Structure 1
């Protein structure tokens, strides 16, 4: 009788260990998915900020100021050549940052196995 009790306890412990391993694997997958979702969310936020920056650049190139427009002043002021050149340089710098962040994002997803 004692042998049967030991065998039953041993089998129960094996079952418990296998269930714990399955649960650990499940939790690792959940964690991986959450990290991937955070990476994608952060990239979406970056894209939106870049898009807003591009709109602001377009407004300033056309002679409008975002700050003045927020206050209700929609008057157009012709930007100087220096201002246009500074805006162009800033846009090129931002485009370079955008491209490198995009490559970094795609590489990170590729390393994670996400298509």
Structure 2
């Protein structure tokens, strides 16, 4: 009788260990998926901010001010060539950052195996 009890306890312990391993594997996969979602969400936020910045650049290039438009003043003021050059230099810098972030995002997803 004692041998049967020891065998039953041993089998129960093995079952418990296998269940714990399965649960750990599930939690690791869930954590991995959550990290991937966070990476994708952060990139979407970055893309939206870049898009807003591009719209602001377009408005300023055309002679409008976002701050004045928010206050209801839609008058157009022709920007000076120096101002246009400064705007373009800033835009190029932001575009470079955008491209490098985009490459970094695509590489990170590729390393994670996401298509």
Coarse TM-score class (shorter-chain normalised): over 0.9
Q: Which residue in 2 is equivalent to 1:76? A: 76
**Aligned partners of 1:54 and 1:15: how far apart in 2?**
59
Q: Aligned Cα RMSD in Å?
A: 0.3
Q: Is 1:56 matched with 2:53? A: no
**Aligned partners of 1:27 and 1:72: how far apart in 2?**
53
Could you give the per-residue CA deviations for residues 51-89 of structure 1, whole angstroms, max 9, x where no partner exists?
000000000000000000001100000000000000000
**What 5-or-longer segments of structure 2 have no aligned partner?**
none
**Aligned partners of 1:73 and 1:28: how far apart in 2?**
54
Taking structure 2 as the reference length, what is the TM-score of the superposition?
0.99
SS at match of 2:77: coil
Q: Which residue in 1 is equivalent to 2:42? A: 42
What pairs up with 1:64-103 in 2 under 5 angstroms?
64-103=64-103
**Aligned partners of 2:67 and 2:46: how far apart in 1?**
21
* Deviation at residue 12 of structure 1 after TM alignment: 0.1
* Deviation at residue 109 of structure 1 after TM alignment: 0.4
**Aligned partners of 1:49 and 1:61: how far apart in 2?**
18
Taking structure 1 as the reference length, what is the TM-score of the superposition?
0.99
* Deviation at residue 25 of structure 1 after TM alignment: 0.2
Could you give the per-residue CA deviations for residues 88-114 of structure 1, whole angstroms, max 9, x where no partner exists?
001100100000000000000011111
SS at match of 2:73: coil
Q: Which residue in 1 is equivalent to 2:24? A: 24
